Amino acid sequence: MVGIIIASHGEFANGIKQSGSMIFGEQPNVVACTLMPHEGPDDIRKKMEDAIASFEDPEQVLFLIDLWGGTPFNQANGLFEGHEKTWAIVTGLSLPMLIESYAARMSMESAQEIATHVMQAAKDGVMIKPESLAPKEEKAAAAAPAAGVKGGAIPEGTVLGDGHIKFVLARVDTRLLHGQVATTWTKTTQPNRIIVVSDAVAHDKLRKKMIEQAAPPGVIANVVPIKKMCEVVQDPRFGDTKAMILFETPEDALRAIEGGVDIKTLNLGSMAHSEGKVVVNKAIAMDKKDVETIEKLRKLGVDFDVRKVPSDSPENIDHLLKKAKEELKTK
């Protein structure tokens, strides 16, 4: 696995590494190297040398650095000599760049290949609102995909692909579309459409708009009521669609599945704590209704993949249900 050094002036490297862990999970072979106000060039160079020595493969190292020409860059550049064919340095450190690097390591074995790949992700991560403030050439580029979608209405009855929508991930997440979903899970499952299935959100104009605008580049986000989703799975025009489907609650998932949405595996990612619920792990809280709903889903043949991010080890749903029942008895 390619080793990654995150380097910066001050604590920025530590902070962005922590942010990356919140979104993508803890990552091996990643070290933050900081240049603190009381330190000099030799100090951060030593930190980088120690980091490289700790990596599984010291011949494949990617430096993600805050500023071109700064001391962290200059010291990395000094170490770079003799490794021009395998190492790579990218400056302009940002969270999109770091997340894309983590995702790229899953399929790329070369630091230089990852470096080339993350350049575009870093650029795409710079956006502005209102869009009218963007330079004209950027606004034109951003408008192109939207125009294609708008003008691409498909006549009713058309069959695309095999006529059946594909679900690359079905997930229960109280927060619906957020950073972990828009980056980590999207990179892992590669959907071309994210569908939030919720009666409540579909009728909330503000939440619906926020979700549609939160879609990652190249992916369309839609919010639909449960009944509409049950109709979509019968529509052959969605035969080329690879969808990530998000539910706010297990109850919404059950209604959709009972309505004909063919989901074999349901990822339990996050179920927020509220009054009447008990905490069963760091991300999931359940009440009696949740327990009953999950048991109904299991009787329908649905498997459960309990984890917040792809790098987490799946938890046993039986253990969580047992813990929830025991805790609820004492309330």
- pLDDT at position 265, please? 97
Can you say how many angstroms the Cα of residue 283 is from the centroid of all Cα atoms in its chain? 16
User: Exposure of 108 by Cβ count < 10 A (0-12 exposed, 13-18 middle, 19+ buried)?
Assistant: middle
> Can you give the pLDDT at residue 139?
47
Tell me the pLDDT tens digit for each residue of 207-238: 888 888 788 878 899 999 999 999 999 999 89
Alpha-carbon span 104 to 110, nearest angstrom: 10
- Which residues are marked as active site? 9, 178
* Other Cβ atoms within 10 Å of 328 Cβ, number: 16
Q: Judge contact between 25 and 309, C-beta under 8 A.
A: yes
- Give, to the nearest 10 degrees, the angle between helix 111-124 and helix 95-104: 140
Give the total residue count for the chain. Answer: 331
Residues of the chain with pLDDT under 70: 137-153
Q: Distance between CA atoms of 228 and 203, rounded to whole angstroms?
A: 13
Selection from 296, 297, 299, 277 nearest residue 288 by Cα = 277
**pTM for this prediction:** 0.68
The predicted structure's pLDDT at residue 152: 44
